[in-house]
Structure 1
Amino acid sequence: MGSGSQGQAAANNGRGDADADTGGAPTHAAHFVFVPLMAQGHLIPAVDTALLLATHGAACTVVGTPATAARVRPTVESARRSGLRVRLAEFPLDYAAVGLPDGADNVDNVPLEATRRYFDAVALLRAPIERYLRARAPYPTCVVSDFCQPWATELAASLGVPRLSFFSMCAFCLLCQHNVERYDAYEGVAGDDEPVVVPGLEERRVVVTRAQAPGFFRESDEWKDFADYVERARAEADGVVMNNFAEMEPEYVAGYAAARKMKVWTVGPVSLYHQQQRAATLAARGNAAAAIDADECLRWLDGKEPSSVVYVSFGSIAQASGKQAVELGLGLEASGQPFVWVLRNAHEYDDTARAFLDELEARVAGRGTGMLIRGWAPQVLILSHAAVGGFVTHCGWNSTLEAITAGLPVVTWPHFSDQFLNEKMAVEVLGIGVSVGVTERVMFQTVEKEIVVGRDVVEKAVRSLMGGGEEAEERRRRARELADKARAAMQEGGSSHNNLMDLVGRFKATTAT
């Protein structure tokens, strides 16, 4: 592993937290540089992984834009105060260079039509990031880049260090996507909704459509060059880091490693860092602007029976239309289950939908049967509460894995991207999910159409999830077993713990820095 030009002076093109150090690191300690996608669902697990590596003796630098750095700074600063060698390095985007609107510096606030330009703007950070890293000790020993940041290939090559691809996804999803492309599974398939069997999965029969699993960035011709760039970067990586745990899907971890011909380190569930190491940071994890006080939320849950509350959230990007929000709210109310419902984009609804939400909130608050949170909520804290018994989720992998870690069955409601394969993982592979039946993208469609899940379907799914009966009990049993395996994986001697230790040892500096 190369050591690069360690002594070069460079202009300070980034602002670091306590710049002079990931400080006092042992001479030969590994120094991982994390380059996450600037989106909450990718950023948070990348930061948690950095904190776990730092817990095991590594130094870690996480690079980000101002908005993304602000989102995780409280968590990182808490870790630094506890003695961990971790720092943030903040780099503003050059909006004018690519024609981005000012302030569009993370995926959550980039207009849809400007998404491609946003990726171009982030790629321009390569040179200032390199200057920043060369100017500060310790010198990097490994770049860990989100698979959506293919330009990190050039960053690592210029620094003379290995590069690992980071995925907050499961191996089942990655292997399915890989095999669909590798074997040209859609060759000759006319429509986006025509089912095909994913090849190369041996005994398991998994059926997908192009609408559900087109391949990463393969939804439209506009992204073809970028998708090819991402694929080349993935193929050239020195290994893969995943936020999952081997015991959950051993055949798919092994299958993906074999398909890619590279080492795969499963290091999750990384959210357990907060419960094992820094419980006080759990409420603030990823918090940009809290919509509710965590203590208030916990007090409300404390008043409910064990496993009686259903938690509903579609994550940081997926969102329900106003019409869908009305149907979802009526279905939740009709189910008779107490619920906590997080609405990220309620302020964008029309007057009819906003009025409905106000009326629903007044009804359920008066009965003590529901809580509506308009904005960010402390999800892991809520899922960890004994009163919560199920999760209605968009099937983003972070949310799916957080449900698994909490031992909760799920109602699956995918919206786009990897969420359809994550649904199949939850329902067909793990046996912990109930589907609402959405089979095509609700967001980022190639042809705009309105897809609304009716109140009766919502009610039926929630009742099935939270009710009695053999199937419901079996889902809960499986969910509890997975939670036990997840915690065991992160404990000393567990598979994820061992993989973290292996990373720290394998990528340590080979010469004094």
Structure 2
Amino acid sequence: MGSQEPAATLGRADAEGDAGGAKAAHFVFVPLREQGHLIPAVDTALLLATHGAVCTIVAPPSTAALVRRTVEAAERTGLAVRLAEFPLDYAESGLPEGADTGDSVPAIYMENYYRAMALLRAPVELYLRATAPYPTCVVSDFVHPWTKELAASLGVPRLTFFSMCAFGLLCQHNLERFNAYDGVEDPNEPVVVPGLEKTVVVTRAQAPGFFRGIPIPWWEEFADYVERARAEADGVILNTFLDLEPEYVAAYAAARNMKVWTVGPVATYHQSRTTLASTLASRGLRTSVVDPDECRLWLDGKAPRSVVYVSFGSISQAVPKQAVELGLGLEASGHPFIWVVRNADEYDEATRGFLRELEARVAGRGLVVRGWAPQLLILSHDAVGGFVTHCGWNSTLEAVAAGLPVVTWPHFSDQFLNEKMAVEVLGIGVSVGVTEPLMFQAVQKEIVVGRDVVEAAVRSVMGAGEDAEERRRRARALAAKAQRAAQIGGSSHVSLQDLVKRFTAGPGARGPAA
């Protein structure tokens, strides 16, 4: 246990305070290690630090290692951010040692992992009480309900952090609040989401609720614990921006009866840095397997908006048969493409051979990246004109910020709601037609999107027809709104300022006595 940075080295925001004697706001972030949760949480901490806050990111060593480069780069610019590392108790939680060191914690160990994280409450509290400055707010990922007890013991407010959109959260909330699935036995039977002006149809398979539908008693109890902690939070921070979904932000705040701060797109932290190229390339959990400069040069040689980018994120992956169909569909589309195949080394020899043959056939037109790619750098390049995505919210929002239409290919969890956001609410997406989860199913089905469907979807998004141009127009308009939200006076900028102001301690304040 220990901090990576002694408190004395924090920087300008650790000063005694302003002329009025107020202490700087000190946000303690407790993120989840999965990329879709971790990266936006850290980016939010960095954004708050640019507004004068102190931010401590609490994490096990395996998680801290994934964001150390980003945090240390911010520290070198003078921002008051630090990593505080706490080892997990593998034995007590029943988590196999090292199970948290891969790209994601294996699903069979997630229960143990959440137990191990909850055991950090006591050492984290001891550290925060002993290390200046005293915290003024705990910001925790919603999957860490134990932070309710941590914040209460410290005597400070607690905010729930979501790397999700308000639309998806509101749909999930209303489905549970109004018991929309009562009497619905078939998990694939369509149900209208209650309480929305717009008609949105989902199935239980697509939107079961957080940690619901797992036939193990512990998970149902954990789901209830998560819900109680969410209901008792002092507010919510969302990685979205107000002009993207104003009606859903307002409706979710009203449904929860709590303040909602929209601070996104939080990736704009990197786009506003003077070291733009390096921060865009390094943002992520692993080192890119493709040289960022070579990637940029490859894109420089392509016509504006001609390249389609394909990535299924840090967890979702295509089975071998699907990888072949996807590759053939991209080839048949005729468009230049960058295809990120994260799990290429796990394929059998036949599939790996197919990838090699495909590369030879599309040499110069197609780039296959085996592993991690500098996604934000790629999406921000003028040559990219569309994004085939698994609909993780980070990727969806990054597409919005880049002004790109999307081909939607959800795999599990909130990705189906994010698809509806992109296709039905924002009007910037074309669906490949997947209606059931492709991962984490008790009975796994073989659901394969054929090459013809892939080709048609890519052509639809990248083509020159009236519908395609309308999607591009909408995407460009949303990108302009995203840019304004992050600028001085924009809604997200104002939210960040308000957070720092609200959680700045008064003169002489140190927090409750130990």
Per the normalisation by structure 2, the TM-score is 0.95
Alignment equivalent of 2:52, drawn from 40, 48, 57: 57
Per-residue deviation, residues 261-317 of structure 1 (Å, max 9, x unmatched): 000000000001111134131210124222111101101000000000000000001
Deviates more, 1:99-108 or 1:399-408: 99-108
Partner of 1:97: 92
Work out whether residues 11 and 78 of structure 2, in 8 Å CA contact, stay in contact via their aligned partners in 1. no
Does residue 78 of structure 2 align to residue 80 of structure 1?
no
Secondary structure, aligned partner of 1:50: helix
SS at match of 1:62: strand
Query: Which of 380, 389, 397 is 1:384 aligned to?
Result: 380
**Hey, what's the Cα distance between the residues in 2 that align with 1:376 and 1:88?**
24
Partner of 1:5: none
Q: Is the 8 A contact 1:245 1:266 kept in 2?
A: yes
Q: Give per-residue Cα distances to partners, 1:142-163, cap 9 Å, x unaligned.
A: 0000011111111111111000
Query: Deviation of residue 106 (structure 1)?
Result: 5.6
Question: Percent identity over the alignment?
Answer: 73
Whole-angstrom CA distance in 2 between matches of 1:218 and 1:451:
23
Asked if structure 2 preserves the Cα contact closer than 8 Å seen for 1:14 and 1:128, the reply is: no
Q: Does residue 205 of the first structure (1) align with residue 199 of the second (2)?
A: yes
Corresponding residue number in structure 2 for 1:170: 165
1:143-198 Cα deviation digits (max 9, x unpaired): 00001111111111111100000001000000000000000000011100000000
The alpha-carbon distance between structure 1 residues 398 and 91, as it changes in their structure 2 partners (threshold 3 A), is: same
Per the alignment, residue 121 of structure 1 pairs with 116
In the alignment, which residue of structure 2 is the partner of 1:4?
A: none
Q: Secondary structure at the match of 2:385?
A: strand
Paired position in structure 2 for 1:221: 215
Judge conservation of contact 1:409–1:465 (CA < 8 Å) in 2. yes
The alignment's C-alpha RMSD in Å is 1.2
Matched residue of 2:388: which SS?
strand
For structure 2, the 5+ residue unaligned runs are 17-22
Task: Judge conservation of contact 2:33–2:104 (CA < 8 Å) in 1.
Answer: no
Match of residue 322 from structure 1: 320
List aligned pairs for 1:171-190, cutoff 5 A: 171-190=166-185
Render the CA deviation track for 1:6-53: whole Å, top value 9, x for unaligned: xxxxxxx22323443434423311000000011111110001000100
- The equivalent of 1:20 in structure 2 is 8
Contact 1:21 1:137 in 2 (8 A): no
| Match status 1:68 vs 2:66 | no
In structure 1, what is the Cα distance between the partners aligned to 2:242 and 2:104?
A: 34
What is the alpha-carbon distance in structure 2 between the residues aligned to residue 226 and residue 107 of structure 1?
A: 24
**What is the CA–CA distance in structure 1 between the aligned matches of 2:286 and 2:171, rounded to whole Å?**
34
The answer to whether residue 458 in structure 2 is matched with residue 451 in structure 1 is: no
Aligned residue-pair number: 498
Task: Output one character per residue of 1:453-511: Cα deviation in whole Å (capped at 9) or x when no partner.
Answer: 11110000000010011100000000000000001000000000000000000000124
What's the counterpart of residue 458 of structure 2?
462
* Alpha-carbon distance between aligned partners in 1 of 2:500 and 2:293, rounded to the nearest angstrom: 37
| Contact 2:403–2:475 under 8 Å retained in 1 | yes
Where does residue 3 of structure 1 map in the other structure?
none
Partner of 2:353: 355
Secondary structure at 2:103 match in 1: helix
Show the 5 A alignment for 1:2-41: 13-24=1-12, 25-27=14-16, 28-41=23-36
Alignment-derived partner of residue 161 in structure 1: 156
Gaps of 5+ in 1: 1-12
The offset of 1:434, in angstroms, is 0.2
Runs of 4+ residues deviating >6 angstroms: none
Contact 2:26/2:56, CA 8 A, preserved across alignment: yes
Q: Is the 8 A contact 2:281 2:288 kept in 1?
A: no
**Secondary structure of 2:362's partner?**
helix
2:101 and 2:413 mapped to 1: Cα distance? 18
Corresponding residue number in structure 1 for 2:284: 286
After the TM superposition, which of the residue ranges 124-133 and 479-488 deviates more from structure 2? 124-133
Is the deviation greater in 473-482 or in 113-122? 113-122
What secondary structure is seen at the aligned counterpart in 1 of 2:282? coil
Matches within 5 A, 1:334-413: 334-365=332-363, 368-413=364-409
Q: Which amino acid aligns with 2:261?
A: W
Letter in 2 for 1:302: D
The answer to which of 16-25 and 259-268 deviates more is: 16-25
Contact kept in structure 2, 1:243 and 1:266, CA below 8 Å: yes
2:20 corresponds to = none
Alignment of 1:273 onto 2:269: yes
Q: Which amino acid aligns with 2:308?
A: V
* Partner secondary structure for residue 312 of structure 1: strand
- More displaced 10-residue stretch of structure 1: 255-264 or 108-117: 108-117
Provide closer, same or farther for how the CA distance between residues 19 and 105 of structure 1 changes in structure 2, counting only shifts above 3 A: farther
Q: Secondary structure at the match of 1:225?
A: helix
SS class of match (1:283): helix
Aligned match of 2:310: 312
Listed one character per residue, the Cα deviations across residues 122-148 of structure 1 (whole Å, up to 9, x for unaligned) are 111111111111111001000000011
1:219·1:446 contact (CA, 8 Å) conserved in 2? no
User: What residue is the counterpart of 1:259 in the other structure?
Assistant: 255
CA apart distance, 1:57: 0.6
